[in-house]
Amino acid sequence: MVRTGLCWAAALLLLAATPALSDTAKARCDIYPAGQDALQSTGDCDFSQRQGFVTITLADGTAYDLEPVGDAPGNFRDAQGHAAYRQSGLGDLGQIFRLKDISIFVYWARDAAQGDAENATAPFSTDEFDATALLRCKPAGAAAFGQCPAGVMRMEDQQASVTVLDPEGQQFTMNFMNDMATGEPYVNATGREVVAVKEGESWMVTAAGSQTYEVPLVFLTGD
């Protein structure tokens, strides 16, 4: 990790909700294995950001150093060179960091983790969707896939609508439908142009010409 002088103006532009008391803030971190919703560990942690470089240090001393990548906010590389992403699914309570093997839910108030903190696919839950999952996703320029939380509403004839939280923290919905005239499947999205190709047991969807999502057929149908 690069250790440089403090630059809170840049830090606030990237993390408006981050406590601005110092370059290192006390927080609470919930750790989930990638793609799972079973809590692996929880406890106090330290969160620091300097000129876009982020370090999350757990109570046991384990540190995750994240280096910003490219011009798009929220894209990082960890110390091993793997892609990592920051998401804003916790609102003002904190932020989510998706790493290769784990997801870290960082809460600015250490006692604020409740409700969605028990759900790795937050802000989506089965209270509103038929099922939720962490979909493999990749923004433009990323070398490896990360995970994006998603919820699915299933319909008849194996049709479904999937709402996803993209790597930039924005929600949008992809619709997996059948053409009424031909019966052939097709994919569209609300507010975005998408290109979809069926590969084996998954749809590979490119949204806005840059973001790629892998949507398994079993997630759409439940079968």
- pLDDT (tens digit per residue) in 16-45: 344 433 478 888 898 888 877 677 888 889
> Residue 4 above 70 pLDDT?
no
Please report the pLDDT score of residue 134 as a whole number: 87
- pLDDT (tens digit per residue) in 59-105: 999 999 999 998 878 899 999 999 999 987 676 678 889 999 999 98
Please report the pLDDT score of residue 189 as a whole number: 94
Q: Between vectors from CA 204 to CA 159 and to CA 213, what angle results, nearest 5°?
A: 95
Q: Report the pLDDT averaged over residues 99-115.
A: 73
State whether CATH 3.20.20 applies to domain 131-221: no
Three-state DSSP at 32 gives strand
CA distances from 78 to 39, 63, 101 (A): 22, 11, 11
pTM, entire model: 0.57
CATH for 8-118? 2.40.128
Please report the pLDDT score of residue 93 as a whole number: 75
- pLDDT (tens digit per residue) in 118-140: 577 888 888 899 999 888 888 87
Please report the pLDDT score of residue 194 as a whole number: 94
Integer Cα distance of 155 and 88 in angstroms:
29
- Among 119, 121, 185, CA closest to 149: 121
Domain parsing of the chain, residue ranges = 8-118, 131-221
Q: What DSSP string runs through 110-138?
A: TT---GGGG-TTTT--TTTSSEEEEEEEE
Please report the pLDDT score of residue 94 as a whole number: 81
Please report the pLDDT score of residue 115 as a whole number: 42
Integer Cα distance of 109 and 25 in angstroms:
10
What percent of the chain lies above the pLDDT cut of 90?
Answer: 41
> Residue 171 above 60 pLDDT?
yes
Q: Is the CB of residue 7 less than 8 Å from the CB of residue 50?
A: yes
Tell me, yes or no, if the two domains 8-118 and 131-221 fold the same way. Answer: yes
> Residue 14 above 50 pLDDT?
no
Please report the pLDDT score of residue 9 as a whole number: 35
Confidence of residue 2 (pLDDT cuts 50, 70, 90): very low
Highest mean pLDDT among 4-13, 87-96, 135-144, 195-204: 195-204
> Residue 193 above 70 pLDDT?
yes
- Mean pLDDT of all residues belonging to the chain: 82
